[in-house]
Amino acid sequence: MSSQLEVILVIPDAHHPYIDKRAWKLMLTAAKDLKPKHLVIIGDFVDFYTVSDHSKDPKRAGKLLEEVNAGNKALDEVDALGAKNKIFIAGNHCDRLQRYLQNKAPELFDFVDVPSLLQLKKRGYKYVPYKEHTKLGKIYLTHDVGSAGRTATFAALDTYQHSVITGHAHRMQYIVEGNATGEVMLSAQFGWLGDAKKIDYMQQVKVKKNWALGFGIGYMDPKTGLCYMIPVPIINYTCVVNGKLYRG
């Protein structure tokens, strides 16, 4: 690897505290060796199940503090990787808190938010609100474009007409297309890191069939801004990064 290239780590939807613990630990182990300069949390880092509009399991409801504490503990682990440039993109699950406050506790709207609960400013993150985007080099980063399912990655490419990384659909997809001018465009998502057993709004067979454990890595050329992205699927709690096999 050229010493000029800057390493990127993309952490997909994790849904703390409902994380797949083995997959999370495996990702962290590989990331420690990777030593990323750029860290991107692509959304839904915390589940915010407690403030969801959906019908909730009474055993899991009413535990917002536990969710926030789990998110902060996980961020401590991520921060220990030592990335210099850190981006936290809010997802639709993060947006659950804002909607809850707007609808049920507007008096607290200006006092409670995701960045403050997760101490993002103190931690040195650039915060990107849900439904907005940012860029890293020449690639756009956003949680979603309002689409889910198998076609979400194509929808993101069609929406941006530019290279883009998204989350949300929990799939491992990588698309490269060109256009009439000869420009090459990438659209990718890098799976998720959540615990499938905690999904109570979808049939388990669909979760197992469609969603993939994994994460993303990449290398940015600071001279051109081009980002060379690589999906890292987690298969039977193993993954390969830079030719090294990791076991969870």
CA distance 112 to 80: 26
**HEC profile of 157-204:** HHHHCCCEECCCCCCEEEEEEECCCCCEEEEEEECECECHHHCCCCCH
The full set of domains in the chain, from first to last, is 6-247 (3.60.21)
pLDDT digit string (tens) for 35-67?
A: 999 999 999 999 999 988 777 677 776 688 999
pLDDT for res 61: 63
Which residues, including other chains, have CB under 8 Å from residue 184's CB and lie 6 or more apart? Answer: 176, 177, 178
Both structure tokens of 138: 């020449």
Amino acid at 228: Y
Task: Kindly give the interhelix angle for 64-79 and 21-34, rounded to the nearest 10 degrees.
Answer: 30
pLDDT digit string (tens) for 175-187?
A: 999 988 999 999 9
Q: Are strands 184-190 and 164-165 parallel, antiparallel or unpaired?
A: parallel
pLDDT digit string (tens) for 63-111?
A: 889 999 999 999 999 999 999 999 999 999 999 988 988 888 888 888 8
Q: Assess contact for 201 and 54: CB atoms under 8 A.
A: yes
User: Is the backbone peptide bond immediately before 17 cis, with ω within 30 degrees of 0?
Assistant: yes
Is 3's pLDDT higher than 60? no
Residue with tokens 């690639």: 139
pLDDT for res 203: 84
Q: Assess contact for 27 and 40: CB atoms under 8 A.
A: no
Give alpha helix (H) positions in 64-140: 64-79, 95-104, 114-117, 120-123
CA distance 242 to 128: 30
CA distance 38 to 13: 17
Pick from 121, 27, 127: which is nearest to 74 by CA?
27
Q: Assess contact for 172 and 233: CB atoms under 8 A.
A: yes
| 114 alpha-carbon distance from chain centroid | 15
- Output the pTM of the full model: 0.94
pLDDT for res 62: 64
- Phi, psi of 131, rounded to the nearest 5 degrees: 75, 5
